[in-house]
Structure 1
């Protein structure tokens, strides 16, 4: 149960906190007729290898979301392959920073998700004030979970589709030892109609997402490029009435 909690907590950290560009040149402006590197990686799922070309972010790099993410959203997250697992319902908020750019409210989003799972002994979450690429979650039994982004790419397909890919370290600290995992998460966000189809009403829309995750061996172990676990999830973001 705890292992599932840590994996799902990392999901929300990735989806609504750190999914962002390392440098301006990593933002690819492409059209529907030009190949997309991340879309092609999505198509070969689950036959992935450890990503070697993903870019390391700078210390202060943070995601600048498309304008259509602005506000507060009610989120449904569901694992596609687990029919017995109930969906997780939580909240996500996107706000403007001091520079006027749209970013995720990372502490709010992580806490909302973690409390919705009701597992794992979650107590609180804190961002690293020196970098948006690091976050700490305090757990019961003198444990805490550290996440650190070590690579990211993104592609803006058009005004309706936004794809991200990130590689990060998940470090579970306990009084006895620390356990490290390397996790890659690719997420495609797309504007969709209220019934999750492509018929988008100009007066409003949902955001539909597909998320693909792979866990690789921790650093220092015998390197194997194949993932040791894969998970696919579906996301639906609906604009909250209390925005």
Structure 2
């Protein structure tokens, strides 16, 4: 199941439209790592996430795993957790981009006085996810990434050997802090198909983006990805609302050469 975890990373830049979180909740969540439980204030995912204008364009991203935890060990440890320790402090680089699109047709009650005719900044989900997956798994292992044309919240990653990873965003929230950070969180279900038994779990990714006064890097981010057991797992009730694995990353965004 090492492949399963590697694709958890793809949530970094597959984000969608979001309601605001309770003030300060996401900031406190990052500060309290690794003392986490499932978020309760997220809202159902609808449409696409609008990013701040300072994230526009193409970026070379360096992602470094800086910490990890298995809160329920030794009783419950996710497959691949021990192997992921080898990635600690090993930077991985890939290219991402954010593009302008018209706002999707969703309820705008959460954003008053918004001009729905203006273009908004969103992640190029297929491009970003493909580059990220290949950076971790290799070009030959990842064939393509397809976004559902009817929903930016559902994507399929096609892998070598007729395997697939289906990722569906189910809930999310955002928060803007007084320090100028833009924080996003997403909860999604991922299903790995192609093995002897399909594998399902739940993942949450919370990321705080911060614009810097420098160009190298121009943006930094603190990200935590939490893995939760699905109801189909025999240890589901033992784990309860607690994550079984936590991974913390430092992200740095550099302008392209």
Change (3 A) 1:204 1:79: closer
The CA deviation at 1:205 is 6.0
Change (3 A) 1:124 1:84: closer
Alignment equivalent of 2:158, drawn from 114, 124, 138: 138
Cα displacement string for residues 197-222 of structure 1 (whole angstroms, at most 9, x for unaligned residues): xxx15x88611011111111112343
Single out whichever of 135-144 and 170-179 deviates more from structure 2: 170-179
User: 1 CA distance for matches of 2:16 and 2:5?
Assistant: 16
The CA deviation at 1:20 is 4.0
Q: Which residue of 2 aligns with 1:90?
A: 94
Check if 1:124 corresponds to 2:144: yes
Cα displacement string for residues 94-147 of structure 1 (whole angstroms, at most 9, x for unaligned residues): 000134110011111111112222349211110010101011000112110000
Residue ranges of structure 1 left out of the alignment (5+ in a row): 193-199
Check if 1:104 corresponds to 2:92: no
Contact (CA 8 Å) 1:20, 1:154: kept in 2 or not? no
TM-score by length of 1: 0.82
Q: Which residue of 1 aligns with 2:248?
A: 232
User: 2 CA distance for matches of 1:117 and 1:220?
Assistant: 28
Contact (CA 8 Å) 2:133, 2:142: kept in 1 or not? yes
Check if 1:16 corresponds to 2:36: no
TM-score by length of 2: 0.78
User: 1 CA distance for matches of 2:148 and 2:13?
Assistant: 16
Residue ranges of structure 2 left out of the alignment (5+ in a row): 68-84, 104-118
Contact (CA 8 Å) 2:157, 2:165: kept in 1 or not? yes
Q: Which residue of 2 aligns with 1:184?
A: 204
Q: Which residue of 2 aligns with 1:196?
A: none
Contact (CA 8 Å) 2:216, 2:254: kept in 1 or not? no
Map 1:143-222 to 2 at 5 A.
143-158=163-178, 160-174=180-194, 176-192=196-212, 200-201=213-214, 206-221=218-233, 222=236
User: 2 CA distance for matches of 1:180 and 1:83?
Assistant: 24
Task: Tell me how many residue pairs correspond in the alignment.
Answer: 219
Check if 1:44 corresponds to 2:53: no
Cα displacement string for residues 136-181 of structure 1 (whole angstroms, at most 9, x for unaligned residues): 0001121100000111000122583100111111110116331101
User: 1 CA distance for matches of 2:136 and 2:9?
Assistant: 12
Contact (CA 8 Å) 1:147, 1:171: kept in 2 or not? yes
Q: Which residue of 1 aligns with 2:72?
A: none
Contact (CA 8 Å) 2:157, 2:164: kept in 1 or not? yes
Change (3 A) 1:219 1:53: farther
Q: Which residue of 2 aligns with 1:63?
A: 49
Compute the RMSD of aligned alpha carbons. 2.3
